[in-house]
Structure 1
Amino acid sequence: MVERARQMYSASLDQSQLKALIQTSPEPVKKALQRLDRQWNALHKVQPAAYQAYSAAPEKLIGSLNQCISTIGDHFNEHPQAVDGTLQGFYLEAIGFARIAELFDEHFIFDITRREAGGKRILSRLSLRNVVPARFIRPRLTAARSTVLFSATLNPRHYYADLLGLPVNTAWIDVGSPFSHDQLDVRIVSRISTRFTHRQASLAPIVELMAEQFEARPGNYLAFFSSFDYLQQVAELMAQTHPHITLWQQARGMGESERHAFLDRFTLSSQGIGFAVLGGAFGEGIDLPGARLIGAFIATLGLPQLNPVNEQFKQRMAALFGAGYDYTYLYPGVQKVVQAAGRVIRSQSDRGVVMLIDDRFAEHKVKQLFPAWWRPETSTA
């Protein structure tokens, strides 16, 4: 919900598209694009690092961008039969970028990502990223007679209230789960760390844990990992050491038919483990009731990737709310874990197990984010 709201008020432009249009556009449009390109080059020429964030949008570039928009618009009006699809696409993206730039304040970051483009050429991508969409969502909520936000993962409340701009007098109703805690065996495996620095050491213990559970209760399981690389390492070791256990894996860039084929492996009579990436196509929105899915292994805390963009979000969250790590990493991560675990129990007759594999799951501040009906037990042996 938060990420979708952010995307509504974010925009980006890539210089490679601009360079290509300069080569193919008619003369009046080409000149406007060249002026924009010069302003663009001036921005990243003074940037020493490959990535850098800024507290203000680039006024001169926005001015040149608006001139481009006007020139391209005039060209389309004068030559309605000669509308070029590529130019039109850039035109619409430019309008969106300019509109977002008008909204820019402390709830946004502007960043430039440079890259080498062969020889000594440098290209870059400009991004206006909304960090806190509350300013735009709040007026719409207050203007409505009533609004209902419904989700199984609106926890913690203050996180969603702060980022979505919920009014102070918002009523919160925590509807009890239709499921009982004795339907779902939630186990925290705290003897294993899935941190990147411990990843290699975690492979064999995770494989043995999964194999032991499968032998104790054969059936269909989902195993979630933080990345395709991690998934692949565990799957390869599982195939080598336990070849009798049927495995199937999510692949990068799966199409709709491939996703259906992955899910079709979960039948009432099948037995095996499907490997997937947490936060991907199989972590939410799928329904595998009864024997089609009896358990899940979640070998990651689900934390978003540590990268320069997320670190900028963390700094801004710390400045605005005093909780940079929690707002940027912890809350979104555990939300994905809870969503993935929710695939196991889909009806009041279902019974299953969820294994949360990482020592951090045993921390109090993490367990506070679990659904109230869970009764997790921690295993250190």
Structure 2
Amino acid sequence: VLEEKLDENALFDITLLAPQRGRKRASMLCIRNVIPAPHLLARHAAAHATVLFSGTLSPAAFYRDTLGLPADTPWIDVPAPFKAAQLAVHIVRDVSTRYQDREASIDRIVALICDQFHKRPGNYLCFFSSFDYLERVADALCARPDAPPVWRQVRAMGNDSRQAFIDRFQAGGQGLGFAVLGGAFGEGIDLPGDRLIGAFIATLGLPQLNPVNESMKRCMQQRFGTRTGYDYTYLFPGLRKVVQAAGRVIRSENDTGELFLMDDRFARDEVRRLMPVWWG
């Protein structure tokens, strides 16, 4: 039973749910496995070998600590089959997508997307931190007389709706797909060739600042150190989603494309170190 294993590596919280007509107000109880390492240690010890692999298995220390890997675990960083010349990476330093700056960022983001689209027409994905932000930027863009075709991810899309969204990215097509970072279209979809020629990412993907995530950060800090708590809870998971979303653009050795990272924080050294080496 999970509650019997509750210790300093996990969190227990209760959320009061919105009341529904004719029913008593309900609550949701959660036991969150913040640091799975203690549960995996015995599995690693019992196995002859454990092999972990992923395109976003970085930085090594984060996964070693949270997944309970031995300190002397060998680590191989296999070079990507792609070249820097295939992906033009643009860091947009005059945009802030912080919550308090989002309204002020809309006009600049819209202008940037439209300018790039008219410079190189084709299919692009545009990622945002929330549906609200997505809708506000999309509405502002669609109000322009020169607006390209736009299709949007919406909440609770079913399988047919998700497939229809993906099917809009036709070879030789032109338009913008608006999506939420970390959602159904940030990973696991394959749009090779000119089905997708670029992506705009208007967020660092940082998890929402709320009591649960702050409790997770304190749990990480107690286990791994003060600065590590922020990195392990917010920065590393956020940048992992950014790299996964950007990976939709280049799917083969023959693909070329453009990536716009729209936030001044992408220029920081601690953030740039988390980007794939082959981006240049």
Question: TM tier, shorter chain?
Answer: over 0.9
Query: What residue number does 2:196 align with?
Result: 293
Distance 2:5 2:65 in 1: 19
**How far did residue 104 of structure 1 move?**
1.1
Distance 1:109 1:242 in 2: 51
Distance 1:312 1:141 in 2: 28
What letter corresponds to residue 185 of structure 1 in structure 2?
A
**How far did residue 169 of structure 1 move?**
2.0
Distance 2:265 2:220 in 1: 22
Given the alignment of the two structures, is residue 230 of structure 1 paired with residue 133 of structure 2, yes or no? yes
Shift in alpha-carbon separation, 1:100–1:178, aligned structure 2, 3 A: same
Query: What residue number does 2:265 align with?
Result: 360
Query: What residue number does 1:217 align with?
Result: 120
Report the secondary structure of 1:241's partner residue: coil
Report the secondary structure of 1:179's partner residue: coil
**Does structure 1 conserve the Cα–Cα contact (< 8 Å) formed by 2:182 and 2:241?**
yes
Distance 1:116 1:212 in 2: 44
Which structure has more helix as a fraction of its residues? 1
Deviations 1:296-326 (A, max 9, x none): 0000000011111101101111111112211
**How far did residue 111 of structure 1 move?**
1.4
Deviations 1:226-279 (A, max 9, x none): 000100001001100144401111111111111110011111121011000000
Given the alignment of the two structures, is residue 149 of structure 1 paired with residue 48 of structure 2, yes or no? no
Given the alignment of the two structures, is residue 188 of structure 1 paired with residue 91 of structure 2, yes or no? yes
Given the alignment of the two structures, is residue 171 of structure 1 paired with residue 171 of structure 2, yes or no? no
Give % identity: 58
Deviations 1:64-118 (A, max 9, x none): xxxxxxxxxxxxxxxxxxxxxxxxxxxxxxxxxxx00111111011112235647
Q: What TM-score, normalized to structure 2?
A: 0.95
Shift in alpha-carbon separation, 1:115–1:259, aligned structure 2, 3 A: closer
Given the alignment of the two structures, is residue 103 of structure 1 paired with residue 5 of structure 2, yes or no? yes
Q: What TM-score, normalized to structure 1?
A: 0.71
- Find 2:247's aligned residue among 342, 346, 353: 342
**How far did residue 177 of structure 1 move?**
0.5
Q: Larger Cα Rg: Structure 1 or Structure 2?
A: 1
Distance 2:2 2:190 in 1: 38
Larger CA deviation: 162-171 vs 109-118: 109-118
- Find 1:312's aligned residue among 215, 233, 245: 215
Shift in alpha-carbon separation, 1:105–1:236, aligned structure 2, 3 A: same
**Does structure 2 conserve the Cα–Cα contact (< 8 Å) formed by 1:132 and 1:163?**
yes
RMSD: 1.5
**Does structure 1 conserve the Cα–Cα contact (< 8 Å) formed by 2:110 and 2:140?**
yes
Given the alignment of the two structures, is residue 265 of structure 1 paired with residue 168 of structure 2, yes or no? yes
Report the secondary structure of 2:143's partner residue: helix
Report the secondary structure of 1:204's partner residue: helix
* Bigger RCO (CA 8 Å, 6+ sep): 2
**Does structure 1 conserve the Cα–Cα contact (< 8 Å) formed by 2:114 and 2:147?**
no
Distance 1:275 1:152 in 2: 24
Shift in alpha-carbon separation, 1:343–1:115, aligned structure 2, 3 A: closer
What letter corresponds to residue 37 of structure 2 in structure 1?
A
Shift in alpha-carbon separation, 1:293–1:169, aligned structure 2, 3 A: same
Equivalenced residue count is 277
Report the secondary structure of 1:173's partner residue: coil
**Does structure 2 conserve the Cα–Cα contact (< 8 Å) formed by 1:211 and 1:242?**
no
Structure 1 gaps of 5+ residues are 1-98, 376-381
Shift in alpha-carbon separation, 1:128–1:244, aligned structure 2, 3 A: closer
